[in-house]
Amino acid sequence: MCDLSDKVAIVTGGATLIGQKVVEALHGAGAKVTVGDVNAADGQALADRLGDGVTFLETDVTDDAQLSRLVDTTVERYGGVDILVNMAAVYLDEGLETSREDWLKALDVNVVAGAIATALVAPHMEARGGGAVVNFSSISAKVAQPLFFVYSTTKGAIAELTRVEAIRLAPKGIRVNSVSPGWTWSNPIRDMSGGDRAFVDRIGGALHMLGRIGDPEEVANAVVFLCSDQASFITGTDLAVDGGYSALGPEQMGQPLEELLARMEAGS
């Protein structure tokens, strides 16, 4: 069990399906959590449901004043900051036809906001003897995917940002890592599938060694681990929570190879 008693966490994008499970897991491990998200209805409902030790603040992460308010309110209410989880993201992607406006918006939300948030919490973490930052990258940062263009680029940038933040913040006792979820039951997948989890498991299962997509709780467990003392010697790295997706390569569960071997046997 990862014990986060007496720890204080900030989670941006915490009103999403995965974000809510991250907040629940951090809170369940003993941390006090402030959630920042533009989705006020779901964010406040989450805080109301979890009760004591969870605060919601409606936050546009592209607004530095609102990010500062998120950090300052957390420090005032809970005494400091030990953990930051940068989850806020947008999915603006028209491939090569993506407008400059959407490119800049995606970079601002997905990459720059997390960098600014990390800079804001770093002094507070250092004052408490160190801390942990978890950025959300993705399997989309590692392989070319036909449906993602802008999103994949931002997630690749997050992977590099994680490494450079880790080396710059190590002297302050701050560890910085990222997680890369595979296909996970999340807001975009839920919306694209019309809420049909069985359909997504059938389609996405062929791309993952474990034969299904991930649950948001499984991503949340990885985040809690990276935030805990159990990961005290881990920094500057990425933890794939992808059911084997990124290890498969283009042969997809060996099916093309099996077909080739069957033809070879038939011809022998």
Catalytic sites, residue numbers: 151
Nearest Cα to Cα of residue 117 among 42, 55, 37: 37
Nearest Cα to Cα of residue 155 among 136, 172, 168, 175: 136
Let me know: does 122 contact 166? Beta carbons within 8 Å: no
Residue 140 burial (10 A CB sphere; 0-12, 13-18, 19+): buried
Let me know: does 205 contact 213? Beta carbons within 8 Å: yes
Dihedral Cα 216, 218, 223, 225, nearest 10 deg? 160
